[in-house]
Amino acid sequence: MAMSARIPSPARLRVDGTMQASALLTPHRVVHVGQSALVLSALHPGQAPSRQVIVTRESAGLMPDGICLDEHDFPRVRDLALGILREGVPLDLTGWTEASVVVDRVDLRLDVVSLDAAGLLPLQHMLEDEDSDELSPSSSAYPIRRQAAHLAAEALGRPTAPTLLRSIVGAGPGTTPTGDDMIVGALAGLRALGLRAEWVSMGRRLRPLTSRTTSASRHYLHAAIEGRFGEHVHDLVAAIAGCEPAVSVIERASTWGASSGIDLLTGLTATVAASIQSRPNESAA
């Protein structure tokens, strides 16, 4: 293996609480360098690259199997990673395990929250209006988003289109395709509602289908199956639980990718609304 390029450690890291320090002791390959995130993959001799490590800046929030850097450190690390990507050499992160680095562990498992119907109807209507804007860069996502009600029914164990899950995995535009983002949203809705049996069942059916999509999307789907979601998903759930105005919730979601945030919000909202509508006299929590 070629000599690794060492990246100096930042002063502080926020990490997914499930990540072990030993995960950073092996060389990593730089898979992707973006404005707000780096995608790394550990290299093991004689083996395929392992699960990805997502390095983000604070404004993007922490992701599953991720490390979050502050706004000062991220640009420096990003520039170094970009050079390493061009050179094609492995990345050495062992310095990030040193005792001098302050590590804050964050539990990314999504807990049950109190959700009711307040605000869901205007939110759904505004999401439909988003789909009616033909100038939106996410217009190719429209046909898949229109399956949201069917996806919600399948997530809740009342499928109207039994093969829908199979047909939307990997479907649509983006590094994380529209169908996958909607599925992550649906799984988040089940977790937030405390519908453990439905979440486990959907995850069991989804797991063998994840080979159909991109490696980045597969990463987030597997994390969602395990009940772990990025901080941006936690923020969306909290906004809905806090009955924030629909326009505010949609503005939050619109900041994540060309369509990913809206796609995820569509799956989340449809699942929560379908559950509440099916048991109007019960608490959704």
Kindly report, residue by residue over 111-120, the tens digit of the pLDDT: 999 887 777 8
Same domain, 85 and 224: no
CA 6 to chain CA centroid, nearest Å: 28
Same domain, 141 and 163: yes
Question: Residue 162 carries which DSSP code?
Answer: T
Same domain, 179 and 153: yes
Give Dmax over CA atoms of the chain in angstroms.
Answer: 63
Question: 249-261 burial string, b = 16+ CB within 10 Å, else e?
Answer: bbebbbebbbbbb
Report d(CA 198, CA 175) in Å as an integer.
27
Segment 55-70, tens digit of pLDDT: 999 999 999 999 999 9
Asked whether residue 80 is domain-assigned, the answer is yes
Among residues 109, 263, 93, the alpha carbon closest in space to that of 173 is found at: 263
Same domain, 191 and 260: yes
Asked whether residue 111 is domain-assigned, the answer is no
Domain end, chosen from 82, 106, 130, is at 106
Same domain, 215 and 138: yes
Asked whether residue 115 is domain-assigned, the answer is no
Same domain, 74 and 171: no
Same domain, 15 and 47: yes
Q: Locate the DSSP E strands across the chain.
A: 5-6, 12-16, 28-33, 37-42, 52-57, 66-69, 91-92, 102-106
Segment 131-174, tens digit of pLDDT: 655 435 455 778 899 899 999 999 998 877 667 888 999 999 88
CA 185 to chain CA centroid, nearest Å: 9
Asked whether residue 113 is domain-assigned, the answer is no
The answer on pLDDT for 102 being more than 70 is yes
Same domain, 190 and 267: yes
Same domain, 154 and 93: no
Domain end, chosen from 84, 106, 128, is at 106
Q: Are 261 and 252 in contact (CB under 8 A)?
A: yes
Report d(CA 4, CA 28) in Å as an integer.
9
Count up the domains in the chain and report the number. 2
Record the tokens describing residue 18, joined without a space.
């499930």
Report d(CA 5, CA 3) in Å as an integer.
7
Domain end, chosen from 106, 128, 149, is at 106
Expressed as residue numbers, the domain containing 169 is: 120-278
